[in-house]
Structure 1
């Protein structure tokens, strides 16, 4: 069980210049995403067939709620803004990236090993039809880690370029325009694979995060821009070709998330600008001792919380099935009562896992966490490329899960991370 410091200890160890707004934004956005995952997942069993579904597929009226639940752009915004503080003239891009990667990847090995072990146990106690849904869903959430690692690789370059408000807005506009062009081609019969170019949408919150850090995004400007983009997004749904859901739902003509769409790009702009507009209020909220204590504890175990809520949820769903209660569809009697029971159980189990495993996230590993050399030139560039390769490999692995194909992609990610570590050894 990890040691949780007291409110007084946390307050005493907080630097006076700490931007509590970013810390609160980062952990609160992650908590919202975790809650959304737990709420949406459904399980239907028919004979030997097992299907993991989504509440949104059965209740389209709930899809607008995803505009409040899809808040990962805020995590990217806050994470990049906080991390970019360590970038200055002469900063080694490769070294900076690997230091960020060390902390993010540290709990990943434990998670994957435990996921494989849980899958083996599930194979013994559940019907064969459960294997593939569990194998894929148990690691599907790692798409976020793969995407975030890839975005981080571009942050030093963005930090060197985003030196004025004009450059910041030009950068955002360029990404939005390219995304619109890609979507237009996809919607008129173009190759679906072209959509993966839209992964650059995740650079939008990164650009705005750097702009916020450097004081380039004023509150009044941010508030106006948030309102304008919100209206534009609504029009894209009402009179345009876009689905309302900000997460993928079966049967969509064009997903807004996988790969990202123009609507998600606008959503990212709107969320980040709205956050900047209300930053003083959030900063005052975070200054409250108890709120700040929860914020700090949450952030020191953020990856643990994100990774382990899915094993907790799947465990609850499996045990519920063995007890004869599957949360299959909102139209079934007792669905919402069962949902409340399962969410409570998942919350308690996730909390226990968080407290028990948070220490692993904060305990340096031998060799992996050894000092990082200030690599330059070719070594620095090679480290950045290795980071991008690791991110892409993890992203691809989530398509296949804990299968042979997924294992190959995870092995590729491990090789890229190993290369990054060897390149940055002091």
Structure 2
């Protein structure tokens, strides 16, 4: 196998590994309790048992997803640019790959929210369920923004290399200082792009060999990032939890903090240090046959992984069938094993049931391949901005804020997705199609 093939497998492995740990992490920390009135509540495990916040060091793996995304985007944009593609055409193609499945997921959930509103479901319950089904949406607007900025970010990368993520990290530290000391949350919004953008930009550097051609950048990054994280948590104001905990201020994720930035650097270093050994393992066809399907279904797993929790809650907790030992007791932790197995079985069934939908979305994507130069690029950018804003509102307020149907957010996502998808119908020559298929 060529080195390029090994590298592609490793990048796909990182995506699959990140998604699997995100799913498992959300399932492990989800606790359900049947209340005396017959309802089901979800106490916050990380806030109730503070020691469990250390578990987030293993489950917060999203830096590797942005790293792998930057690696893939760097190669894809380079090929598209060299073959005559435009920024609008390339960004439109990348955006469709996220917006089509996210739009289909949102449409189905919003239909359920609308039906529940009509039949009179308790607004508090509806708001909680709507939040649970949208809790993973924070990733989508951030990734879409970074994808839209890729042509500009990659231009900076080609000119200044590793200095670009270094400057981004420095600006992120300044922004976080304002958040912690002056309590200016709107300044902290920059860090969603800057901190996760550092991982994305390091993906460019990795793709071009800037992190692997010199010794020993990877071990040094792992060591320095780990030491910096430990210092910020021990002597600084930051908590150890790398997942949002209600009432925790400052937070490492809302917005991404200096401690999260250190974790990005540490995970990148650990990833690149382990890469040779993992590549050798992935070169075995038996291993790759297990990894590849997970990577191919990563978006479906990410979007739909909280639905099994609702199914299990209705089937076992509302009916009073599930045993309920004290939260955090040895018995409770032992029951996490069958809990995870049941959720995994339900999710497998959900993935199988969604195959016709996935084939339909793949057909739409095939018929709306990115054009070299969309006829009205400003409409594409407007549609993308509208979709990002709608997804952000879902990420913040859920699919049923205050128990109500989110009319404006739903309309925004619909308009944005339609505009981004429809503009892919621009005519493409056979020669440019070949290059764009390779780039996508």
Correspondence for 1:137: 132
Correspondence for 1:226: 222
Shift in alpha-carbon separation, 1:383–1:120, aligned structure 2, 3 A? closer
Shift in alpha-carbon separation, 1:260–1:407, aligned structure 2, 3 A? farther
Is 2:36 aligned against 1:43?
no
Whether contact under 8 Å (1:148, 1:391) holds in the other structure is no
Deviations 1:222-250 (A, max 9, x none): 21111111101110000001011001012
Shift in alpha-carbon separation, 1:328–1:55, aligned structure 2, 3 A? farther
2 CA distance for matches of 1:270 and 1:244?
Answer: 15
1:345 to 335, 342, 347: 342
Whether contact under 8 Å (1:168, 1:208) holds in the other structure is no
2:61 to 71, 96, 104: 71
Shift in alpha-carbon separation, 1:121–1:341, aligned structure 2, 3 A? farther
Whether contact under 8 Å (1:222, 1:277) holds in the other structure is yes
Q: Secondary structure at the match of 1:107?
A: helix
Is 2:32 aligned against 1:34?
no
Query: TM-score by structure 1 length?
Result: 0.87
For 1:50-89, list aligned pairs within 5 A. 51-88=41-78, 89=82
2 CA distance for matches of 1:328 and 1:177?
Answer: 47
2 CA distance for matches of 1:326 and 1:194?
Answer: 46
Is 2:96 aligned against 1:102?
yes
2:149 to 139, 149, 154: 154
2 CA distance for matches of 1:188 and 1:328?
Answer: 42
Structure 1 position 163, deviation (Å): 2.2
Structure 1 position 210, deviation (Å): 0.7
Structure 1 position 118, deviation (Å): 4.9
Is 2:181 aligned against 1:185?
no
Structure 1 position 220, deviation (Å): 2.1
1:241 to 237, 241, 257: 237
Deviations 1:17-68 (A, max 9, x none): 7621101111011100110011111234546676433321122112122111
Whether contact under 8 Å (1:285, 1:291) holds in the other structure is yes
Whether contact under 8 Å (1:222, 1:273) holds in the other structure is yes
Deviations 1:126-170 (A, max 9, x none): 866422210211122122122211221112222222126xx3332
2 CA distance for matches of 1:421 and 1:114?
Answer: 19
For 1:185-204, list aligned pairs within 5 A. 185-200=178-193, 201-204=195-198
For 1:257-268, list aligned pairs within 5 A. 257-268=253-264
Q: Which runs of 5+ in 1 are unaligned?
A: 1-10
Deviations 1:325-354 (A, max 9, x none): 476962468422443332211010111222
2 CA distance for matches of 1:367 and 1:25?
Answer: 24
2 CA distance for matches of 1:97 and 1:82?
Answer: 13
1 CA distance for matches of 2:406 and 2:209?
Answer: 42
Aligned length: 411
2 CA distance for matches of 1:348 and 1:54?
Answer: 24
2 CA distance for matches of 1:277 and 1:338?
Answer: 36
Is 2:287 aligned against 1:298?
no
Q: Secondary structure at the match of 2:43?
A: strand
2 CA distance for matches of 1:133 and 1:147?
Answer: 23
Is 2:13 aligned against 1:19?
no
Correspondence for 2:411: 411
2 CA distance for matches of 1:80 and 1:37?
Answer: 25
Shift in alpha-carbon separation, 1:384–1:122, aligned structure 2, 3 A? closer
Query: TM-score by structure 2 length?
Result: 0.84
Shift in alpha-carbon separation, 1:172–1:296, aligned structure 2, 3 A? same
Correspondence for 1:206: 200
1 CA distance for matches of 2:271 and 2:367?
Answer: 34
Structure 1 position 384, deviation (Å): 4.2
2 CA distance for matches of 1:211 and 1:156?
Answer: 15
Shift in alpha-carbon separation, 1:174–1:52, aligned structure 2, 3 A? farther
Shift in alpha-carbon separation, 1:73–1:326, aligned structure 2, 3 A? farther
Structure 1 position 117, deviation (Å): 5.0
Deviation larger for 19-28 or 314-323 = 314-323
For 1:359-398, list aligned pairs within 5 A. 360-363=357-360, 364-366=362-364, 369-375=367-373, 379-380=376-377, 383-384=380-381, 386-398=383-395
Q: Secondary structure at the match of 1:106?
A: helix
2 CA distance for matches of 1:171 and 1:217?
Answer: 13
